[in-house]
Amino acid sequence: MKITFVGAGSVVFTQGLLADLFAFPELRDVHIALHDIDRERLSTSEAAARYIGTSRGMSPTVTAHADRREALAGADFVINIVQVGMAETTRTDFDVPARFGVRQTIGDTLGIGGIFRALRTFPLLRALGADIAEVCPSAWLLNYTNPMAMNVQYLTEVTGLTRVVGLCHSVYWTMRGLSELVDVPFEEVTYVAAGVNHQAWVLSWTRDGVNLYDALDALVEADPELRRRVRVDMYRRLGYYPTETSEHSSEYVPWYLHHDSEIARLRIPVGDYLGITDENVASYEQTRAALAAGEPLEVEPTMEYAPQVIHSIATGTPRVVYGNVPNRGLISNLPSGGTVEVPCLVDGSGVRPTRIGDLPPQLAALNRNYLSMNDLVVRAAVDEEPRHIRQAAMVDPATSGALPVERIWDLCNEMVRAHADRLPPALRVTL
């Protein structure tokens, strides 16, 4: 079995996925093919992969490829973890909007940062899809690259690939965190969540038939500090807990980031992702130095979904993961074709999403806005219509809540100029 990592130079994340893969004895002889355009990072990733495999008593074949098609040839699974432009473009995504007074915390999903991260990623996705269709057409493409929902929609619309699943750990870690909060073992809870990536909702959460939301309500009522978090505030007002962090969640609604009082009340860390980016660069440098010195690497399993999906398909072991897939009747009051996040049964037959039906109307209303903005960004690329970029920003809650419409267009023009060499040619115009 061959697993190809595209963007393997994201060394820290690659290491965690490999640690998870090598926890399964059945995968001991797997072929790990690593691809990245940065040769130094690719070399570091190769060395890390060999170390992790050996240190866990496995015997994988590890190959490194600067040529993507060579890495993909004959692959059974493709894990996409590319970040186009890396830290440099992330800083642009924050610095330019900040000059216009637009605040962001993470900037990788919606907002002005999410829009332009998507637009500079789409050309890579189109080329990747074409390569997969030619050299490994039966492979499963497991996407981690953000903005998740936009990328999965673009991939499924443009490439014609049908074995595409977007994977994100937000539901899993939300449920672990909530279970710890109410002091119930995670292994004993039953839950269902659904919605869109980074804005899904815990629809049910029980232990032995007992509704655990009641225990959460009691904690929230008793602890004023617990109420000083965005996702708790959203839960109190919407009735269902969101499955992404407060930092992320604050960007997807118009209620928080452009109010100084709300930033203070809910302790929102504006610009948080810039610090995370610096930490990732530092972690990479530490890994590279440790490998060069022959020192041991401390790599902990991450409980990510991709290794579980691969193991289930390869061995027939059934399990449920949360996947991001096209909405083909899965959530009936959200737009068809948009990317939704739902529980998926995975076994030897592949990945089968679960039909949820209607979301509660207040949740669907927020998710519809999210998917409408996504669709405009995808339409901008597919139809080569630069006006749709500006219209997506007009629909985006955080951007439209912070700026009048003329300034939104000015901001988009500045972002186009800043990212021009990475955007599809038809979208490099200012309006």
Is there a binding annotation on residue 143? no
CA distance 206 to 10: 37
Is there a binding annotation on residue 344? no
Contacts of 425 (CB under 8 A, 6+ apart): none
CA distance 84 to 422: 8
> Count of CB atoms within 10 A of residue 310's CB?
25
Tokens 């948080």 identify what position? Answer: 272
Q: What are the angstrom distances between the C-alpha of 255 and each of 111, 199, 230, 260?
A: 14, 15, 10, 11
Contacts of 364 (CB under 8 A, 6+ apart): 331, 333, 334, 358
Is there a binding annotation on residue 146? yes
Rg of the chain over all Cα atoms, to the nearest angstrom: 21
Instruction: Name the burial class of residue 86, with classes exposed (0-12), middle (13-18) and buried (19+) by CB atoms within 10 angstroms of its CB.
Output: middle
Instruction: Please give the positions annotated as active site.
Output: 169
Tokens of 346: 């995975």
CA distance 156 to 337: 9
CA distance 287 to 423: 32
Question: In 393-410, which positions are buried (b, 16+ CB within 10 angstroms) versus exposed (e)?
Answer: bbbbbbbbbbbeeeebbe
CA distance 80 to 218: 41
Task: Report the candidate in 377, 389, 395, 383 with the shortest Cα–Cα distance to residue 414.
Answer: 389
Amino acid at the residue 386: P
Instruction: Name the burial class of residue 328, with classes exposed (0-12), middle (13-18) and buried (19+) by CB atoms within 10 angstroms of its CB.
Output: exposed
Amino acid at the residue 174: T
CA distance 275 to 279: 6
Task: Summarize the annotated binding site as residue ranges.
Answer: 146, 168, 198
Task: Summarize the annotated binding site for substrate as residue ranges.
Answer: 146
Task: Summarize the annotated binding site for Mn(2+) as residue ranges.
Answer: 168, 198
